[in-house]
Amino acid sequence: MTDPLEEAPQRSGIEIRQLYKIFGPRPGRFIDKVKAGMTKEELNDRHNHVLGLQDINLSLPPGEISVIMGLSGSGKSTLIRHINGLIAPTAGEVLYEGRDVVAMGPRALREFRRTKTAMVFQKFALLPHRTVLENTLYGLDIRGVARDQAEPVARAWIDRVGLSGFEENYPNQLSGGMQQRVGLARALANDADILLMDEAFSALDPLIRMDMQKVLLELQKELQKTIVFITHDLDEALRLGDSIAILRDGKLEQVGSGQDIVLRPANAYIAEFVREVNRGRVIRAGRLARPLAPGEALPELRVDGYLVLEKVARQMAAAGAAEATVLDRKGAPAGVIDSEAILNAMVTPADAP
């Protein structure tokens, strides 16, 4: 078992290919009709079947947080449950290390769930009769890990999520945020490659929710797990996601980074979705920096290209500078950004194609 304090191992990603899900007693009868263009409304009205997912093709990169978001009924929770085989598709593949999860037999699927995936739920899903320590140990107990090996791992993760001293408390003695920390510790103790988080923070109060987002981002810097995070909250998606996939009525509307989606919405639906976003907290300096001209004298003020525009604007205002040199990840000059470009990017809504 991997020591939680060791360097993060190499992760594997997930490939979802041509995934369809039709709910109803005879879904196989209608898959060809859906592929031929039958709409969700037509399928429901004519045949009393529900189209849950339609032709999902999605790469979830290793070691990154991939956010799948959409409004209620968009299919996001249905999609995440296909990754660990809790729902079987009507058609399509879910590939992990070249193996199709859909084609796994019962024994292989159980092993995959136990050793390769862990899940954090919206409603915590803690066992009320088990203490914090015993809940954290649960996945390791299921795997048959000896208690003398499992307990140090569980205690280490309890400490890492900020619950040291609460090991002997029961769930009903904890706040909602503390309970979700237990759920996160339980998932991390399993040392699974893939972490599935289904609306994991949605039931929490706003301040606690932001605190849990911070905890997750801090842990991810070290662990670099392949995380699939489901949310209906765009601000949460933009804060957490290395990439974001937006679903609508079971179809992918757009996939990209938060900056891509805010700056270049794929259609009117996405443009409306992102209209109220604070662009200054999403767009980064490196995205707006113009290339350096040969022999150009660089502005004295230097800013990290990873900084969001809001922070860059503050630095420029404090320095009384109209321009700044933007640095790449290695600290080398990568371009120049000016106050006019920042202002335009922050106040001009992106136009839908």
pLDDT digits 0-9 by tens, 299-322? 999 999 999 999 999 999 999 999
Last residue of a domain, one of 273, 299, 320: 273
Q: Is residue 54 part of a domain?
A: no
Judgement on whether residues 246 and 286 belong to the same structural domain of the protein: no
Determine the pLDDT at residue 7: 52
**Res 6 pLDDT > 80:** no
Judgement on whether residues 226 and 143 belong to the same structural domain of the protein: yes
Closest CA to 203 of 178, 167, 171: 178
- Alpha-carbon span 25 to 42, nearest angstrom: 17
Instruction: Indicate which CATH number applies to the domain containing 313.
Output: 3.10.580.10
Last residue of a domain, one of 273, 293, 317: 273
Question: What is the dihedral sign for C-alpha 267, 268, 273, 279?
Answer: positive
Structure tokens that stand for 39 in this block: 């709409």
Judgement on whether residues 156 and 283 belong to the same structural domain of the protein: no
Tally of domains within the chain: 2
Determine the pLDDT at residue 2: 47
Judgement on whether residues 266 and 304 belong to the same structural domain of the protein: no
Judgement on whether residues 155 and 262 belong to the same structural domain of the protein: yes
3-state secondary structure of 76: helix
3-state secondary structure of 317: helix
Q: Is residue 139 part of a domain?
A: yes
Q: Is residue 312 part of a domain?
A: yes
- Alpha-carbon span 222 to 327, nearest angstrom: 24
pLDDT digits 0-9 by tens, 123-157? 778 999 999 999 999 989 988 899 999 999 999 99
Q: Is residue 46 part of a domain?
A: no
Judgement on whether residues 224 and 294 belong to the same structural domain of the protein: no
Judgement on whether residues 293 and 166 belong to the same structural domain of the protein: no
Q: What's the average model confidence in pLDDT over 53-70? A: 96
Determine the pLDDT at residue 294: 87
pLDDT digits 0-9 by tens, 80-100? 999 999 999 999 999 999 999
- Alpha-carbon span 63 to 54, nearest angstrom: 26
Judgement on whether residues 148 and 179 belong to the same structural domain of the protein: yes
Q: Is residue 4 part of a domain?
A: no
Judgement on whether residues 125 and 209 belong to the same structural domain of the protein: yes
**Res 120 pLDDT > 50:** yes
**Res 272 pLDDT > 60:** yes
3-state secondary structure of 246: strand
pLDDT digits 0-9 by tens, 199-241? 988 888 888 899 999 999 999 998 999 999 999 999 999 999 9
**Res 351 pLDDT > 60:** no
pTM: 0.86
Domain that holds residue 313: 279-347
Q: Is residue 32 part of a domain?
A: no
Judgement on whether residues 239 and 326 belong to the same structural domain of the protein: no
3-state secondary structure of 252: strand
pLDDT digits 0-9 by tens, 330-346? 899 999 999 999 988 88
Among 67-71, 119-123, 241-245, 293-297, which stretch is predicted with the lowest mean pLDDT? Answer: 119-123
- Alpha-carbon span 345 to 298, nearest angstrom: 22
Helix (H) or strand (E) holding 272: helix 268-273
Q: Is residue 5 part of a domain?
A: no
For a pLDDT cut of 90, what percent of the chain falls above it? 75
pLDDT tier for residue 9 given thresholds of 50, 70 and 90: low
Determine the pLDDT at residue 125: 82
Judgement on whether residues 188 and 303 belong to the same structural domain of the protein: no
Instruction: Indicate which CATH number applies to the domain containing 248.
Output: 3.40.50.300
Determine the pLDDT at residue 122: 77
pLDDT digits 0-9 by tens, 168-189? 999 999 998 899 899 999 999 9
3-state secondary structure of 170: coil
pLDDT tier for residue 329 given thresholds of 50, 70 and 90: confident
Last residue of a domain, one of 213, 238, 273: 273
For a pLDDT cut of 70, what percent of the chain falls above it? 96
Q: Is residue 29 part of a domain?
A: no
Judgement on whether residues 152 and 268 belong to the same structural domain of the protein: yes
